[in-house]
Amino acid sequence: MRRRGFTLIELTIVICVVAVLFGVALDRLLLYQELGERAALQQNIAAMNTALTMKFVAYITGGKPQAIEAELGKNPVDLLSRPPENYLGELYGPDTRTLERPSWFFDRGSRELVYLPRRDRHLTSASGPIDALRFRIFLTEITPGTEDLRELRQPFIGPVTPFSWVVE
């Protein structure tokens, strides 16, 4: 009479196969979460850049394009009709280790918009590891050799420290 059931070796092999499959699935899930976080960051920056461009156009049509320089150092989230869901507000030099991630806040001390990423496995910078991404309103430089032409300096939101967030 044959016994029914698994042998210990068969059970060990099944557990190992399930563990490997779980590990691969978890790695892919974390990768997709990081892709989603990066896309949300890019979408929010693009929305703020669009709002900033619209304000610049309003200044141009109002006949005072140099007034855009007053936007330097201001909170770009104020340009949006509603802030991102994970926006913490305007804070003065907070300890970023105690804040919820992922989230945005405007640092009133440095006058920078800060993003605290949750997933940063693929986030790199030439200056080393990144704890927070910092953004600021900049004005484009006038192209050398075109000083005699009337060229307007246009505003844009850019990173204070260049970074690369390449998820493969």
Give the number of other CB atoms < 10 A from CB of residue 115. Answer: 21
Judge whether 2 lies within some domain.
no
Cα–Cα distance, 51 to 141 (Å, whole number): 20
* Number of domains present in the structure of the chain: 1
Cα–Cα distance, 46 to 55 (Å, whole number): 14
Judge whether 1 lies within some domain.
no
- Could you report the per-residue pLDDT of 56-111, keeping only the tens digit for each? 999 889 988 788 888 899 999 999 999 999 999 999 989 999 999 999 999 999 99
Judge whether 44 lies within some domain.
yes
Residue ranges of E strands in the chain: 87-91, 103-107, 112-116, 123-124, 133-139, 155-159, 164-165
pLDDT of residue 148: 57
Judge whether 79 lies within some domain.
yes
Q: Which amino acid is at 77?
A: V
Judge whether 3 lies within some domain.
no
Judge whether 82 lies within some domain.
yes
Quote the Cα angle for 54-60-65, to 5°: 105
Range of the domain at 46: 8-165
pLDDT of residue 146: 60
